[in-house]
Structure 1
């Protein structure tokens, strides 16, 4: 696992690095530190990472500046900051977790456990997705999405207004960020199960669902029983 720590206080950054290496020792993590906003941006342009650990106060510079630049990149962000009043804003940018300072090993461990979790706890689930379009960032409410469809290393957001936009993270990275009512019903689709109108079996052991929007989507055999119970 490739991890970038962006923290302006070198001793704090080194301490976080040590804790991360202990927590993730089985995964043999590669952990890099940058102490300025500018150097972090340069690093991210040149390197690929899996997780960004970000402080929001970088030598009086706003860490959200970095978050706005990289919001559509295909890695998860964990904010570690004393600015707890900005937690809601951070989650709106789609961060995986917000860890208030002073942090500890167990809190860091819990944040990393979310990487393998099927869903965020609803209290920390995102309500918006930020999509980069050229130099602009479009913030899309989750409730405006009819369904999510995998498109190679990206995800298509099929919106209620009929438009379709591309989200620059793979579907497996999106799932842990969403509330528990959003289920991956197929390897290529995520839906809000509350929007499922009916389940059909066209034949040949295949299943589909019809959403309240009228969309028909495939369902994997592994998911069909789980879907039938709440709807029965």
Structure 2
């Protein structure tokens, strides 16, 4: 697909760059985040309305379209990157899921109600995490039954963790992909608490020597 876009004579330089960025995003991200999405989607109830914050090119979601279809999920996916949103819309159309998946280019979606709000790595990119999370949680349908889900890495304290605090933001300049900031568990739980939520479950999707890939489930504090 990438080679087709790059070589297609009808595409201008800007379109080729957009296609390259989306292709690179999928190459770097999807092998990891497709697994993240599956661990999240299996927990979502049937007929749920989901807000996916930072959906990217939607490739990871569509890798799990069997769950989206079988559970009759309705997903609103948001992203701030116009190139990714353009690719996401094309991917959704290619999978013929326009009736279930809608993509919006916005820094902060307003709408709902939703049964689940999902951050797939995107929570690490948000500047004012606690306030943003509180605004997203306000769109949940039910305090008792609705949940906020986070798939991301949690760094282990230590020398490598301190190095990654400095190094991780630089990856954007190397890959064009914003990986956000390093997140330690104590900081993450503080953001959740300040937003008026409480961590209900932390599931380790893939343990690591220096960081764990986790799915965190949070609910509104009663």
Report the TM-score, using the length of structure 2 for normalisation.
0.35
Bigger CA radius of gyration: 1
Report the TM-score, using the length of structure 1 for normalisation.
0.34
Question: Could you say which structure has the higher strand fraction?
Answer: 1
